[in-house]
Chains A and B, each alone.
Chain A
Amino acid sequence: MTLLKTHIGRRAFIKNTSLASGGLVLGFSFLNSCKPEQAEKMAVREMPKEWFEINGYLKIGDNGLVTIMSPNPEIGQNVKTSMPMIVADELEIDWKDVIVEQAPLNTNLYSWQVAGGSRSISSSWQSLRMAGATARQMLKQAAATAWQVPVEEIRAVEGVLTHEASGKSAGYGEMASAAAKEAVPEEINLKDRSDFSIIGTSRKNVDGLKIVTGQPLFGIDVQREGMLIATVAHPPAFGMQLKSLDAEAAKKMPGIRDVFSITLFDDDFKRSAFHHTAFNTLVAVVGESTWEVMQAKKALNIEWEKAPSASIGMTMFGNDMEVNYPAGLENTTTHREQMEALNAKKGRVVRKDGNPEAAFKNAAKVIERSYTCPFLAHNTMEPMNFFAHVTEDHAELLGPTQTPEWMEPAIAELLGLPLEKIDINMTRQGGGFGRRLYGHFMIEAAAISQKAKAPVKLVYSREDDMSQGTYRPSYYATYRAALDADNNLTALHVKTGGIPESPLFANRFPAGALDNYLAEDWTIESNITTGAFRAPRSNFIAGAEQSFLDEVAEAAGKDPIEMRLELLKKAQENPVGENNDYDAERYAGVLELVKDKSNWNASPTGMHRGVSAYFCHNSYVAQVLDIAMENNEPVVQKVTTAIDCGIVINPDAARNLAEGGVVDGIGHAMYSAITFKDGAPEQTNFDKYRLIRHSEAPKEIETHFVDNGIDPTGLGEPPFPPIMGALANALYKATGRRHYHQPFITDRPPIVG
């Protein structure tokens, strides 16, 4: 059992909000109280009129039903189910008696209301457990007081409190009123892992029925009395800005209420990268229906002009920086030349171990390979949108955002309202992948509502969405390996960079496993905006590195898994350097597991296999991908994934997320790209931007988790990056072609095998 203090320092993690708000406990009727089994018989499972808020995470109805607030944004990673499961387990309530609600943004009650960095579960693991355990303890205390027995003798099981000696028992609903008045215990006991009854068991998506019956769940589904629809027009290319607007024709079109330009930030507004957008001034079209505003947008007569270069002061997690956006209309062909030229020069040395120069000089064999990837658009299926209702002294915002907490200050700044006058609520979100970390659309919706003096739902078209920027950066990497006469890997050199950021993680494997190691990087400025895209940077460098290691293993005449295990053994037993950021034992653990589960040493007939393993977001993933040739075309048959992300909350949902990572990784490595001509993206809809489809997905995906009882680490991102390496390695086995340039579908490498 883990003993946890509910007060640490000056801050109380758990507050008894019912005491603060008082009125909640009034009007409680004992006649209404019943145990959960009675509640189950009710026709409609809903909270009664009287309920008791025990703390910010949960409310208990006098009928025994419990509402658990899910604090974090739900973008498809299923936290709306898994986070309440953690509370429910510690509370000791039957999952069928739980109703889940999306919590509003509330920085007093919750911390890290962000869907980013695969951190939802790991950063709230303890506070969610504490919320449930605290409530359980307060319910026990209430029963102990009512029955005049020691609290230690009270048992709480599935929503029922019992005192064996006296034979007394009561449902949580009966004790909720009294429990809400109890003092928050100073210390509470968390359950032992072996006593978990909900954590580690598969529970269905709490929104499942609503999703399959088409109920309004998403931001784009928001409907309000008097609500208008807005859309925006931004420049057709990066490096351009608004020159003039003639909206006369558009304003006369049916259903159109207004057309105007909006500007989001003053030059001196200290913004974060999550606020920034390439297009600070936009044209807004406001009308009665979506189709009408989309039609009117086509009738706008807008002149765009070339924008000057800009240098913008930004703050990023407390660090101030100046970001340069050069002038000009950029092209993909030029980008490639720029990257090749810069990569041929000496880069910024980020890490150096031993004497790599000497090792390369003395090498019996040197392997050098370069890898690239294009910009990508996130392309969440639900395009950017947000509802805003701004009045003189209040702003209500509702919709899909991964970062309500980070956006609130920028909205306050724009509207000139204090933070407490801004309410942000989250809907279910039609995908995130990092795109909705960047909430410019919330600010735009607020600006439009303020100017139109009406509740407004801003809706981006797919074309608006895909051409807005916030892309996955384009990267370039060159790897070099030195082998001695006995085929030992004696040195590794990585030089990498990108537009506008470098994908280097200098302290990750194989750093630490090599006596001689050199990591350099570089960056190129651009006016094309980029943003975090599922497993930022890892989403390229993992595939490049893992493809390269496959070639090194081949050149050394070693099995690719065995070679990695050898290196990891060295990193574990005799690590080089002190900043290695991975646990070599856990890394090796997923490789061993995938080797076993994929039956690596007995490859099925006709299958061509590739392996890959990577560490990111504090989790470890290894994958084996099997390809069969069908009609002379490579077809992915099966992927076997091994994951170490610590304790798994909801296994089947976790498998779903891992399957998605596999499909997503294969899809983007194989098919997707954003390219530029004169600053304009050449793909603005799914006719030219290719996403993986049903027939291209693996026929089978198997996912296995390492069972080690470690506190949960990330899961949303880690299964995504390594699969790109496994794909490239399997493609090589199947076709004899080593693919270096994503998307592989347009890459035509020679046959080398």
Chain B
Amino acid sequence: MANYTLNINGKSREVDVDPSTPMLWVLRDHVKLVGTKYGCGIAQCGACTIHLDDNAVRSCQLPVSAVGDKKITTIEGLSEHGDHPVQQAWLEVDVPQCGYCQAGQIMSASALLKNNSNPTDSEIDTAMDGNICRCGTYTRIKKAIKTAAGNLS
């Protein structure tokens, strides 16, 4: 066990966990932020995507000991009231079916748009291919990303 002071969604959070514990479980079990989802545990499905500084990372493969003072943003911290352009676009297009993977999809999409405000279809595919949606909302996700890009520009 070791003590870590983490910067999560702009707040300082202290946790006492084994250094190998992935951020996914630190967030879900210790910080009680459950918006970040478990899907596979091997970085193949993207349900656990968070932002480390401004980059999308799979939190199931990110041990707490590797975080240091980097800023962690989860779906709960993406905006104050669900008003991030990507979240708004998701609501406008009414993307979710079961909704389970959508936090990860939104985190991947918002990281993409931060670096590339007007992505092409193929750039969207490349950025999003790591996020599985078992319900098959892919066409709506693409539409929502384009809607958000349009609202950002």
Range for the number of chain B residues in contact with chain A:
35 or more
**Known: A205-B94, A213-B35, A431-B100. Contact between A691 and B132, CB under 8 A?**
yes
Which listed residue (A76, A212, A431) contacts B87, Cβ 8 A? A212
How distant is A243 from chain B, measured CB to nearest CB, in Å?
Answer: 28
- Which residues of chain A from 291 to 342 have a CB within 8 Å of any chain B CB? 291-292, 294
Q: Point out which of A211, A217, A290, A461 has the most chain B C-beta atoms below 10 A from its C-beta.
A: A211
Residues of B within 8 A of A715 (CB): none
1/0 contact string of B70-96 vs chain A (CB within 8 Å): 000011101101100001001100111
Q: Report whether B29 and A213 are in contact in the complex, using a CB–CB cutoff of 8 Å.
A: no
Q: Is B42 an interface residue (CB 8 A)?
A: yes
Chain B residue nearest in CB terms to A433: B134
Q: Report whether A381 and B97 are in contact in the complex, using a CB–CB cutoff of 8 Å.
A: no
**Known: A204-B94, A381-B45, A660-B135. Contact between A214 and B25, CB under 8 A?**
no
Q: Report whether B44 and A209 are in contact in the complex, using a CB–CB cutoff of 8 Å.
A: no
Q: Which among A273-281, A407-415, A661-669, A727-735 touches the partner chain?
A: A661-669
Residues of B within 8 A of A580 (CB): none
Q: Report whether A656 and B44 are in contact in the complex, using a CB–CB cutoff of 8 Å.
A: no
Residues of B within 8 A of A211 (CB): 96, 99, 102-103
Which listed residue (A78, A209, A212, A381) contacts B39, Cβ 8 A? A381
Residues of B within 8 A of A289 (CB): 17, 21, 25, 29-30
- Which residues of chain A from 253 to 302 have a CB within 8 Å of any chain B CB? 254, 289-292, 294
Residues of A within 8 A of B111 (CB): none
Q: Is B119 an interface residue (CB 8 A)?
A: no
**Known: A213-B82, A431-B134, A693-B129. Contact between A254 and B139, CB under 8 A?**
no
Q: Report whether B142 and A687 are in contact in the complex, using a CB–CB cutoff of 8 Å.
A: no
Q: In the complex, A103→B18 CA distance in Å?
A: 40
Q: Report whether B82 and A291 are in contact in the complex, using a CB–CB cutoff of 8 Å.
A: no
- Which residues of chain A from 546 to 595 have a CB within 8 Å of any chain B CB? none
How distant is A257 from chain B, measured CB to nearest CB, in Å?
Answer: 14
Residues of A within 8 A of B41 (CB): 294, 461-462, 685
How distant is A15 from chain B, measured CB to nearest CB, in Å?
Answer: 32
Chain A residue nearest in CB terms to B36: A214
Q: Is B152 an interface residue (CB 8 A)?
A: no
1/0 contact string of B118-139 vs chain A (CB within 8 Å): 0001101110110111111111
Q: Point out which of A214, A430, A692, A699 has the most chain B C-beta atoms below 10 A from its C-beta.
A: A214
Chain B residue nearest in CB terms to A432: B98
How distant is A491 from chain B, measured CB to nearest CB, in Å?
Answer: 38
- Which residues of chain A from 654 to 676 have a CB within 8 Å of any chain B CB? 656-657, 659-664, 667
Q: Report whether A685 and B136 are in contact in the complex, using a CB–CB cutoff of 8 Å.
A: no
- Which residues of chain B from 1 to 35 have a CB within 8 Å of any chain A CB? 1, 17-18, 20-22, 25, 28-30, 32-35
Q: Which among A82-90, A218-226, A507-515, A619-627 touches the partner chain?
A: A218-226
Q: In the complex, A78→B33 CA distance in Å?
A: 25
Which listed residue (A213, A294, A659, A691) contacts B139, Cβ 8 A? A659
How distant is B83 from chain A, measured CB to nearest CB, in Å?
Answer: 10
**Known: A290-B29, A660-B136. Contact between A381 and B75, CB under 8 A?**
no
Total interface residues in chain A, CB < 8 Å: 66
Q: Report whether B136 and A663 are in contact in the complex, using a CB–CB cutoff of 8 Å.
A: yes
Q: Point out which of A76, A213, A382, A698 has the most chain B C-beta atoms below 10 A from its C-beta.
A: A213
Chain A residue nearest in CB terms to B106: A212
Q: Is A77 an interface residue (CB 8 A)?
A: yes
Which listed residue (A213, A653, A694, A699) contacts B76, Cβ 8 A? A213
How distant is B131 from chain A, measured CB to nearest CB, in Å?
Answer: 7
Q: Is B52 an interface residue (CB 8 A)?
A: no
Residues of A within 8 A of B141 (CB): 694
Q: Report whether B47 and A381 are in contact in the complex, using a CB–CB cutoff of 8 Å.
A: yes
Residues of A within 8 A of B142 (CB): 694
Q: Report whether A692 and B103 are in contact in the complex, using a CB–CB cutoff of 8 Å.
A: no
**Known: A205-B94, A205-B96, A382-B37. Contact between A659 and B42, CB under 8 A?**
no
Residues of B within 8 A of A75 (CB): 98
Main secondary structure of the interface of A (DSSP, over half): loop
How distant is B49 from chain A, measured CB to nearest CB, in Å?
Answer: 11
Residues of B within 8 A of A208 (CB): 90-91, 94, 96
Chain A residue nearest in CB terms to B22: A291
Main secondary structure of the interface of B (DSSP, over half): loop
Q: In the complex, A660→B97 CA distance in Å?
A: 8
**Known: A289-B25, A685-B42. Contact between A381 and B100, CB under 8 A?**
yes
Q: Report whether B125 and A379 are in contact in the complex, using a CB–CB cutoff of 8 Å.
A: no
Q: In the complex, A220→B99 CA distance in Å?
A: 13
Chain A residue nearest in CB terms to B30: A289
**Known: A216-B34, A685-B40. Contact between A381 and B106, CB under 8 A?**
no
Chain A residue nearest in CB terms to B75: A214
Q: Report whether A229 and B100 are in contact in the complex, using a CB–CB cutoff of 8 Å.
A: no
Q: Is A706 an interface residue (CB 8 A)?
A: no
**Known: A217-B99, A691-B132. Contact between A663 and B34, CB under 8 A?**
no
Q: Report whether B40 and A213 are in contact in the complex, using a CB–CB cutoff of 8 Å.
A: no
**Known: A212-B87, A213-B35, A660-B136. Contact between A207 and B99, CB under 8 A?**
yes
Q: Report whether A214 and B35 are in contact in the complex, using a CB–CB cutoff of 8 Å.
A: yes
Q: Report whether A223 and B125 are in contact in the complex, using a CB–CB cutoff of 8 Å.
A: no
Q: Point out which of A205, A212, A289, A685 has the most chain B C-beta atoms below 10 A from its C-beta.
A: A212
Residues of A within 8 A of B131 (CB): 694
**Known: A205-B96, A656-B137. Contact between A686 and B45, CB under 8 A?**
yes
1/0 contact string of A624-668 vs chain B (CB within 8 Å): 000000000000000000000000000011001101111110010
How distant is A712 from chain B, measured CB to nearest CB, in Å?
Answer: 18
Q: Report whether B87 and A213 are in contact in the complex, using a CB–CB cutoff of 8 Å.
A: yes
Q: Report whether A223 and B97 are in contact in the complex, using a CB–CB cutoff of 8 Å.
A: no
Which listed residue (A209, A218, A656, A692) contacts B100, Cβ 8 A? A218
Q: Is A215 an interface residue (CB 8 A)?
A: yes
Q: Point out which of A380, A430, A667 has the most chain B C-beta atoms below 10 A from its C-beta.
A: A430
Residues of B within 8 A of A254 (CB): 1, 18
Q: Is A173 an interface residue (CB 8 A)?
A: no
**Known: A208-B91, A254-B18. Contact between A379 and B134, CB under 8 A?**
yes
Q: Is A151 an interface residue (CB 8 A)?
A: no
Q: Is A697 an interface residue (CB 8 A)?
A: yes
Q: In the complex, A700→B146 CA distance in Å?
A: 14
How distant is B25 from chain A, measured CB to nearest CB, in Å?
Answer: 4
Would you give 14 A-B contacts (Cβ < 8 Å), ordered by A? A78-B97, A208-B96, A212-B103, A220-B34, A220-B37, A289-B21, A291-B22, A294-B41, A380-B98, A382-B98, A430-B37, A459-B38, A695-B129, A699-B139
Add 17 more A-B contacts to A76-B96, A381-B37, A652-B94 (CB < 8 A): A77-B97, A211-B96, A212-B106, A215-B35, A220-B37, A221-B34, A223-B32, A291-B17, A380-B98, A381-B47, A382-B100, A462-B39, A462-B40, A656-B137, A686-B42, A686-B132, A697-B138
**Interface positions of B (Cβ within 8 A of A):** 1, 17-18, 20-22, 25, 28-30, 32-42, 44-45, 47, 74-76, 78-79, 81-82, 87, 90-91, 94-103, 106, 121-122, 124-126, 128-129, 131-142
In the complex, the 10 A-B pairs of residues with the closest C-beta atoms, listed nearest first: A214-B35, A663-B136, A430-B100, A76-B98, A214-B75, A686-B44, A695-B125, A697-B138, A76-B97, A211-B99
